[in-house]
Chain A
Amino acid sequence: MSPSTLAMMLGAGWLLVGIGVGGLLLRQGQPTSAAAAAVLAWPAMVSLLGAESMDAPGAGPFAVKITAAFAALRAALAEPALGGVVELNSLQGIERSLRRADARLAAVDRLLEDPVVASDAGSVRLITARAHAADEVEAVLRQLLAVRVQLGLVALAGDTSAVRAHLGELAARAQALEEVTC
């Protein structure tokens, strides 16, 4: 065996496993960048295997809007003048709640596609609850847009308290989505 062959073998083995993990992540719908990172750092990323993708096929009617809204908000927060205004954790909690609500809407929609369920007398209540939940999700998404506007004011005036307060209210409202009742 040549001098470098052992190290090359181990390196190739590491990369092969990484490519396998990256491929599986891609199939799951994880971002391409995450799959590429997994080629090198797969031991740190194995927890993504089987995890829910951000744009999972089972995602509901608001999945694209949620992704776009948070991408825009994070891009705004990436501005140097606005760095540190908001903690990542507060956004993630809101996003998580919204995606869960969106997934529940998708489940209800699939249920209502069944003509037997749709024709049942109880389905009226289900449709009303579904509409109410969808309205709540839309309201939170509109508020996220309002937060982006407020960030512009922060950039000028430097007062972050209003933004933090607004996000606090949004977090509570998003949390309440978990408890939407008929």
Chain B
Amino acid sequence: MHLLTLTTQVLRDPDAVAGSGDDHALARLAPPLLVLAVGGAAVLGLAVGASAGPLQSVYAAVKLPALFLVPPLVVLPLVHTFAEACGVSVPWSRLGIATLAGLARSGLLAAAAAPVLWLPFSLDAEYHLAVLAFVATFGLVALPALATLSRAVPTGGRLRWVAVLGTLAMLGLVTAQTGWLLRPFVARPAGVVAFLRPVESDIFSAIGATTRSATGDYDDDWQPRGSGLNRTVRE
């Protein structure tokens, strides 16, 4: 399908694209949808990294598509099995195409939001405000993808609310940790531009330490340490 036509359809009526979900449609539509998702996320990455120079822009443009793609794809098996457990049958191909259609829509919205974000970043916006603006933008453009995926699951079933809550919770967890793994996207003003920072602890312990610091509690000597597989290899 012509990319421009697909762009129009994804923006105006993503459910129609998501609803065309059989295996043939998936094979045909997956490549252009992926191009839209990755391209749009990369454009947002270019804008987000702008405050620290062109190298950081390129780094962020490479990493942001991964932040878009990895969490929903990792959580996709949970969506399928939870729907099954609630008594709702949804073909895997339909979920796959709905996920990609949602991601394409979010990618396009991200590309549209990029200039809005770039303006303050290019004027050396304060670091913490910049991070908050990035997180807020990411959350806003990701919502349509969630909506498209949730509408792809047929109605009905029992304990559906458990499936929705559980999936959202796991998606939030995986997204937060993936973002932590792939940081930095917004470089610190005096920091060295780096592709990735060491895998230290996890986002929740870091948030806890930051919160304590923000309340003036500097006594706790929280030190970042290797975690997950990184810690295992070091030990």
- Residue pairs across A and B with Cβ atoms less than 8 A apart, 10 shown, are A6-B230, A7-B181, A41-B73, A41-B96, A43-B96, A45-B27, A48-B27, A75-B2, A78-B4, A92-B25
Bound together, the chains give a CA A88 to CA B97 distance in angstroms of: 14
Is A7 a contact of B20 with CB atoms below 8 Å? no
Q: Which residue of B lies closest to A87 (CB)?
A: B16
What's the tally of chain A residues with a CB closer than 8 Å to chain B? 43
Give the distance to chain A from B178, nearest Cβ to Cβ, in Å: 10
- Out of A41, A52, A80, which one reaches B69, CB within 8 Å? A41
If A1-B234, A3-B198 touch, whether A89 touches B20 (CB-CB below 8 Å) is: yes
Check A121 for interface membership: any CB of B closer than 8 A. no
- Out of A25, A74, A75, A96, which one reaches B24, CB within 8 Å? A96
- Out of A31, A47, A78, which one reaches B5, CB within 8 Å? A78
Q: Which residue of B lies closest to A78 (CB)?
A: B2
Is B19 a contact of A89 with CB atoms below 8 Å? yes
Q: Which residue of A lies closest to B2 (CB)?
A: A78
Q: Provide the residues of chain A in CB contact with B34, threshold 8 Å.
A: 37, 40-41
User: Which of B87-95, B126-134, B212-220 forms contacts with chain A?
Assistant: B87-95
Check B197 for interface membership: any CB of A closer than 8 A. yes
- Out of A14, A34, A88, which one reaches B31, CB within 8 Å? A34
Bound together, the chains give a CA A25 to CA B4 distance in angstroms of: 26
Q: Mark B190-220, 1 if CB is under 8 A from A, else 0.
A: 0000111111000000000000000000000
Binding site for A on B (CB under 8 A): 1-2, 4-5, 8-9, 16-17, 19-20, 22-28, 30-31, 34, 38, 66, 69-70, 73-74, 76-77, 91-93, 95-97, 99-100, 181-182, 194-199, 226, 228-230, 233-234
Give the distance to chain B from A165, nearest Cβ to Cβ, in Å: 20
Q: Provide the residues of chain A in CB contact with B74, threshold 8 Å.
A: 43
Give the distance to chain A from B4, nearest Cβ to Cβ, in Å: 7
Q: Which of A148-182 contact B (CB under 8 A)?
A: none
Give the distance to chain B from A32, nearest Cβ to Cβ, in Å: 9
Bound together, the chains give a CA A124 to CA B193 distance in angstroms of: 78
Q: Provide the residues of chain A in CB contact with B24, threshold 8 Å.
A: 54, 92, 95-96
Q: Provide the residues of chain A in CB contact with B228, threshold 8 Å.
A: 6
Is A4 a contact of B196 with CB atoms below 8 Å? yes
